[in-house]
Amino acid sequence: MSYYDIKPEKKFFEKELADYRDSIWGCARCNWCQNHWGWNVKSAEYSEVCPAFHEYRIFPYSGMGKMHIARALLEGDFDYEDAPEVVKFIYTCTTCGACEMNCQRLQDKEPLQVNETLRAQLVRDGVGPMPEHKALIKSVKNYDNPWMQPRTQRDRWAKKLPIKDANKDRAEVLFFVGCTSAFDNTLWHITQNTAHILLHAGVDIGILGKEELCCGSPVARIGDRDTFMSLAKRNIERLNDTGASEIVTFCPGCYRSLTHDYPQISNAPSLRAKVYHSSQYFDRLVAEKRLVFTNSEPLRATWHDPCHLGRHCGIYEEPRRLLRAMPGMELVEMERIKDQSWCCGGGGGVRTAFRDFAQKTAVKRIGEAKKTGASAIVTACPFCEQNLGEAIDKMSDGMKLYDLTQLMVRALGIG
């Protein structure tokens, strides 16, 4: 049974609001799109799961509210002139998918897909996305990345590293770096650590360097489907041309795009390589004893599930296994984890357009982490790292933030 089983004859990126008509009319107002799954609630304080409803407290921000708005727009009960505020409601969503998770389990409906389809409609109708997103789209179109950086800067992080140029030399594994940690030098540690770890394990890796394209996730999530589909098709072609049999990426947004979004584009070729998130790949290398953690460093840490990695793609256990395998590591869990994880606040274009809300959501997560007694949060997503990192810096209360690879290189003794 597929996540995209509404009108399966249509691929997701072709679907329109009308395709969800039954679903949006039938919203049962059960409100589980806002709340932590009943079984897993461990305290009154952390019993909600939708960051936007949690912050603003009114229904248009929730999955249920979006279903109601979608119904009214679809039936013409109001239009954008009557309700210009809908644009804000529809974009104040991190696309964390918690609403969809719970609704699928209970009512078999799709509030996140509906919201993403609403975004696509707003873009088509010329009223979306948010003004802050427009520069991002323009940048993707002009520079193949969302950060307005020249293509020539994309591989600066890799200087002096013995990595193959996959445009020229065939490598067994293509390391798909993604835009954010390729261009943001404060995140280069993730990129470089990932490369170091793969090389340490003897993996034959290559990168596309300046020729790598944005995976398209940022534009897909904010509703510019045309740009996304065009990028995706170019990407598939380019990635297939490398002849790599495996692709590794550490960015959950890229991972979701390559594994779940690309197959939802009509008339696009399939990716020939098998795609792994880096935590999956590292987990495999540890199991094969190609990576052995030897260095012990005492740390009580908690794992933050990035939404696009965990809830969207089901990768919950691999990073936890890696952490537990590190000598000296004590992994403690927060109350809201895995399918019920609380979003960092940075996804779905929210950090770009609604920075304050993104930061408040991060602060809430950090508070939850502190309650476990952990001194560090570990994650594996450049967007989570940016958003949680900014909040931690502002709070200045001793909590530390690590990318999974930072702890791995320490444990491997290759830092």
Residues near other proteins (CB under 8 A) are 1, 3, 5, 21-23, 25-32, 35-44, 47, 57-60, 64-65, 68-69, 71-73, 75-79, 82-83, 85-86, 89, 97, 100-101, 104-109, 121, 125, 260, 310-317, 338-340
Q: With respect to other proteins, which residue has the nearer C-beta, 206 or 253? A: 253
**Helix or strand or coil: residue 276?**
strand
CA distance 113 to 17: 9
Structure tokens belonging to residue 81? 């002139």
Q: With respect to other proteins, which residue has the nearer C-beta, 22 or 237? A: 22
CA nearest neighbour of 325 among 292, 301, 298: 292
Structure tokens belonging to residue 412? 């491997």
Burial category of 8 from C-beta neighbours within 10 Å (exposed 0-12, middle 13-18, buried 19 and up): exposed
Contact 348, 95 (CB under 8 A): yes
**Helix or strand or coil: residue 63?**
helix
CA distance 331 to 300: 6
CA nearest neighbour of 71 among 135, 36, 20: 20
Q: How far is the CB of 16 from other proteins (least distance, A)?
A: 10
For 11: left if phi > 0, alpha if psi spans -120 to 50, otherwise beta; the answer is: beta
Q: With respect to other proteins, which residue has the nearer C-beta, 340 or 379? A: 340
Q: With respect to other proteins, which residue has the nearer C-beta, 161 or 313? A: 313
**Helix or strand or coil: residue 187?**
helix
Burial category of 51 from C-beta neighbours within 10 Å (exposed 0-12, middle 13-18, buried 19 and up): buried
Going across the sheet that includes 164-165, the strands are: 164-165, 205-207, 173-175, 246-249, 274-277
CA distance 223 to 121: 8
Q: Which residues does 139 contact at the CB level (< 8 Å), separation at least 6? A: 145, 146, 147, 148, 149
Structure tokens belonging to residue 361? 């959501």
Preceding peptide of 129 cis, ω within 30°: yes
From residue 384, give the alpha-carbon distance in Å to each of 305, 365, 379: 9, 11, 7
Structure tokens belonging to residue 214? 């944005």
